[in-house]
């Protein structure tokens, strides 16, 4: 079972860390590789970034299918290009948002997303409405930290702990979804730290959920519906 992670950004410096993270959650018979964009944004924090990324993501997803890959994870919580890519290929394609929040909806009645910046909150609200789970999402909080500054793991962790506690106590969250796939390698430690502070709340890592969903879909031989994502008709398109 071969899965590909597409990091929808132009830098390859996170690829090895992404591979390491994703590999923790894989089944023994699963192989994972990681690719990134040659053109597009350095990180995704706006609709504009999404559009720039999506334009290139779709081609990488097409290539993945040609390469014999059986499932693709577009490694961003904004699901850039995911809808379009699903139209183009017969293998399952997931982003970071849908698998994570569907998992949260199973383990808890109400949950919050904790993301990077206030500026992406409206995009996450839109994704929740589109998926039809907005009633389960009691809040979207942010840690006021751009994606490219998440490399300071200590700072990120302190801010996440603070935001998560507010989500639980003030908003009534019963589970937490990490709202950026750049928040790597933290979910398990956060969950343990929170339990020690008397806040026993599941923390969902979007990478883990995405890998798990892809595996499930591949084992079940199920892919995205071609009624929801019909194959685009042939016609003139100038790329």
Contacts of 158 (CB under 8 A, 6+ apart): none
In the range 210-229, which residues lie near its own copies by CB under 8 A?
211-213, 215-217, 219-229
Q: Which of 12, 19, 25, 165 binds its own copies (CB under 8 A)?
A: 25
The nearer residue to its own copies, 34 or 194, going by C-beta atoms, is 194
Applying CB under 8 A, does 166 fall inside the site for its own copies? no
Is residue 161 near its own copies by the rule CB under 8 A?
no
| DSSP structural state of residue 234 | P
User: Which residue from 12, 33, 47, 165 is in contact with its own copies, where contact means CB under 8 A?
Assistant: 47
Q: Which of residues 172-191 bind its own copies (CB under 8 A)?
A: 172-175, 187-188, 191
Phi, psi (degrees; rounded to nearest 5) at 142: -130, 160
What's the DSSP call for residue 140? Answer: E
Least spacing, CB of residue 138 vs its own copies, in Å:
10
Per-residue x/- track, 71-90, its own copies (CB under 8 A): ----------x-xx-xxx--
**104 to 133, contacts with its own copies by CB under 8 A?**
105-110, 118-119, 121-122, 125-126, 129-133
202 forms part of the interface with its own copies (CB under 8 A)? yes
Of residues 63 and 212, the one with the C-beta less far from its own copies: 212
| Dihedral sign (CA 65, 129, 207, 35) | positive
Signed CA dihedral, 91, 103, 122, 164: sign only: negative
171 binds its own copies (CB under 8 A): no
The CA distance from 39 to 208, in Å, is: 26
DSSP secondary structure string, 125-144?
HHHHHHHT-TTTEEEEEE-S
| Position 193 contacts its own copies (CB under 8 A) | no
Q: How far apart are CA 14 and CA 20, in angstroms?
A: 10
Judged by CB under 8 A, does residue 21 bind its own copies?
no
Q: Which of 93, 26, 90 is nearest to 57 (CA)?
A: 93
């Amino acid at each position: 079972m071969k899965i590909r992670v597409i990091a929808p950004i132009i830098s390859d410096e996170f690829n090895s860390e992404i591979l390491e993270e994703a590999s923790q959650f894989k089944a023994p018979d699963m192989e994972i590789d990681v690719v990134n964009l040659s053109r597009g944004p350095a990180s995704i924090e706006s609709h504009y970034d999404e559009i720039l990324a999506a334009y290139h993501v779709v081609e990488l997803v097409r290539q993945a299918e040609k390469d014999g890959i059986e499932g693709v994870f577009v490694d961003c919580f904004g699901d850039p290009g995911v809808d379009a890519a699903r139209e183009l290929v017969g293998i399952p394609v997931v982003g970071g948002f849908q698998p994570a929040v569907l998992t949260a909806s199973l383990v808890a009645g109400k949950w919050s997303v904790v993301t990077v910046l206030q500026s992406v909150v409206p995009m996450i609200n839109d994704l929740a409405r589109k998926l039809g789970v907005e009633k389960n999402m009691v809040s979207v909080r942010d840690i006021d930290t751009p994606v490219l500054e998440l490399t300071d793991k200590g700072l990120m962790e302190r801010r996440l702990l603070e935001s998560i506690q507010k989500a639980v106590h003030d908003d009534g969250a019963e589970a937490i979804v990490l709202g950026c796939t750049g928040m790597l390698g933290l979910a398990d430690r956060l969950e343990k730290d929170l339990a020690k502070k008397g806040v026993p709340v599941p923390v969902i890592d979007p990478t883990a959920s995405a890998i798990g969903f892809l595996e499930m879909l591949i084992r079940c031989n199920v892919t995205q519906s071609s009624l929801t994502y019909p194959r685009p008709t042939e016609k003139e398109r100038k790329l």
